[in-house]
Amino acid sequence: MKYLTEYRDATIALPLIERIKRTATRPWTLMEVCGGQTHTIVRQGLDELLEGAIEMIHGPGCPVCVTPLEQIDKALMLAARPEVIFTSFGDMLRVPGSDCDLQQVRARGGNVRVVYSPLDALEIARRNPDREVVFFAVGFETTAPANAMAVWRARELGVPNFTVLVSHVTVPPAISAIMQSPDNRVQGFLAAGHVCAVMGWTEYEPLAKRYRVPIVVTGFEPLDILEGMLMAVQQLEAGRHIVENQYVRSVRREGTPAARMRVEEVFELADRKWRGIGEIPMSGLRLRPEFAAFDAELKFGLGDVHVNEPAECHAGEVLTGKLKPPRCPAFGTRCTPERPLGALMVSAEGACAAYYHLAKYRGSGDSAAAGAVS
């Protein structure tokens, strides 16, 4: 635990916060792309501590938040099939599909199991040869290597009853989509350290140059994030826009070649829809044709699923920093953590849920909270 406590040391963090405040001659708007960083920022109250110096926009880097409704509905269809054991990471279980979520499918008799690794799902398949085991392969470049490994192992071991429902997305196209938006407010990015630990940061260099935006590869502990913020603010104040690496203890420029190789062997780039944002060209991963036998969509003939998404929830605008959650007409009334309209209200650390709790603390559903947290 020494490793963790070192990066949560208040005696280092508090002077760092003061330094960021002194360095920022004006308020800067940064986006942390990753849900793991959002988690740390909200848990530690970093946004509150930096109020006035930095406005943090919680970006689209939460795989729970951006998995499209079509894929959730496909997951629900598969989980409801009697011959299927549907396996998933835990936090996908409460994400609303068109008319229910995976927990509700389980309550109605679906065999839905939480796993901590896709290799655990593969093991369930090996132990249950008379059942079809499907793993919900969601996430960014971080979960892709393990998911690729599970598929690769399934082929190596000849496990015919294991398939994956793929909904992988990649970060750089999302950064492009955000920066190309006409009303974009993001002035600098904290890039997710674990994504870069796999993929490196070479893909980010042309983005920083093209959009003239600082991108700092950042870790997940409070001190990592504060350092990343400081580095981004220093660049902004100096008018620089390059990729810098705060997370030197874990990330190399070229990433982890072995993991990249496995991902590239099993997956290929494809157009992918993001929930709340829409389709972003070549922003996702899909199984290569030689691994088609492990594609749940093909095996179960799911085809295209048609969904209707009314504009009741404005998650996309929240994810791109255009709308504060309390300004959403459904916030706290038709959309609550118990009955979420969108994924941002699902997790206790989601941007909308964070505001919901803060509003309760401040005794206000709107303005008092709106200025305090981004």
Partner 1 sequence: MTAVGSVTLACPAPLDASDRVQLGHGSGGKMSAALLRQRFLPALANDALAQLGDGAVVNVAGVEVVVSTDTFVVSPLEFPGGDIGSLAVHGTLNDVAMMGARPVCLTAGFVLEEGLPLDILDRIVRSMADAARLAGVPVVAGDTKVVERGKADGLYINTTGIGAADARFRPAPERARAGDVVIVSGAIGRHGMAIMATREGLAFETTITSDSACLVGLVERLRMARVDVHVLRDPTRGGVASALNEIAAASGVGVEIDETVLPVPDDVRAACEVLGLDPIYVANEGILLAFVPAGDAERVLAALRSHPLGAGALQIGRVITRHPGVVALRTSLGGTRIVDLLPGDQLPRIC
Footprint (CB under 8 A) of partner 1, residues 121-150: 138-140, 142-143
The reply to whether 217 sits near partner 1 by the rule CB under 8 A is: no
**Does 347 sit near partner 1 (CB under 8 A)?**
yes
**Is residue 90 close enough to count as binding partner 1 by CB under 8 A?**
yes
- Smaller CB distance to partner 1: residue 182 or 301? 182
Q: Least separation, in Å, of the C-beta of 290 and partner 1?
A: 27
Distance from C-alpha of 223 to C-alpha of 5, rounded to nearest angstrom: 10
Taking the C-alpha atoms of residue 68 and residue 194, their distance in angstroms, rounded to an integer, is 23
Contact stretch for partner 1 (CB under 8 A) within 83-91, 157-165, 229-237, 289-297: 83-91
Judged by CB under 8 A, the chain residues 2 through 21 that form the site for partner 1 are 4, 8, 10, 13-14, 17
State how far the alpha carbon of 314 is from the alpha carbons of 168, 319, 327, in Å.
22, 9, 10
Q: Which residues contact 259 (CB under 8 A, 6 or more apart)?
A: 145, 198
Interacting residues of 117 by C-beta distance below 8 A, sequence separation 6+: 146, 150
Give whichever of 178 and 285 is closer to partner 1, judged by the CB atom. Answer: 178
- Among the listed residues 293, 35, 5, the one whose alpha carbon sits nearest the alpha carbon of residue 142: 35
Helices 257-266 and 144-157, axial angle in degrees (round to 10): 60
Q: From the CB of 262, what's the least distance to partner 1, in Å?
A: 19
Shortest Cβ distance from residue 253 to partner 1 (Å)? 22
For partner 1, the binding residues in 270-329 under the rule CB under 8 A are: 275-280, 307-317, 320, 322
Kindly indicate which of the ranges 34-42, 208-216, 230-238, 249-257 contains the residues binding partner 1, using the contact rule CB under 8 A.
34-42
Report how far residue 120's alpha carbon sits from residue 219's, in angstroms, rounded to the nearest whole number.
27
Among 23, 29, 103, 128, binds partner 1 (CB under 8 A): 103
The interface region with partner 1, picked from 22-30, 98-106, 150-158, 234-242 by CB under 8 A, is 98-106
Q: Which of residues 157-176 bind partner 1 (CB under 8 A)?
A: none
**155 is an interface residue for partner 1 by CB under 8 A:** no
Of the listed pieces 37-45, 75-83, 205-213, 261-269, which binds partner 1 according to CB under 8 A? 37-45
Residue 255 as a binder of partner 1 (CB under 8 A): the answer is no
Q: Both tokens of residue 306?
A: 């048609």
Within its chain, how far is the Cα of 89 from the centroid?
A: 13
Is residue 341 involved in binding partner 1 (CB under 8 A)? yes
Determine the 3-state secondary structure of 31 from DSSP.
Answer: strand
State the Cα–Cα distance between residues 200 and 251, nearest whole angstrom: 7
Quote the CA–CA distance of 119 and 152 in Å, as a whole number.
10
Q: How far is the CB of 209 from partner 1 (least distance, A)?
A: 19
Counting DSSP H helices and E strands in the chain, the numbers are: 18, 11
Q: Binding string, 193-212, against partner 1, x = CB under 8 A?
A: -x------------------
Nearest CA to 179 among 326, 62, 29?
Answer: 29
